[in-house]
Amino acid sequence: MKNAIEELQGVWNVIHVETEGYTLPTTFFKGATMSIRGERFVSIGVGNIYQGIIYADPCASPKTLDLQFTAGPDKGRTDRGIYEVNDNELKICLAIRGKPRPGKFTAERGTGFAIEKLKRDEN
pTM of the model: 0.90
pLDDT tens sequence across 86-110? 989 999 999 987 789 999 999 999 9
Sign of the dihedral through C-alpha 97, 21, 86, 44:
negative
Beta carbons within 8 Å of 105's beta carbon, 6+ residues apart: 62, 82, 84, 91, 93, 115
Sign of CA dihedral 93, 18, 77, 68: positive
Where do the domains of the chain lie, and which CATH numbers do they carry?
A: 6-120 (2.40.128.490)
pLDDT for 43-63, tens place per residue?
998 789 999 999 999 999 999
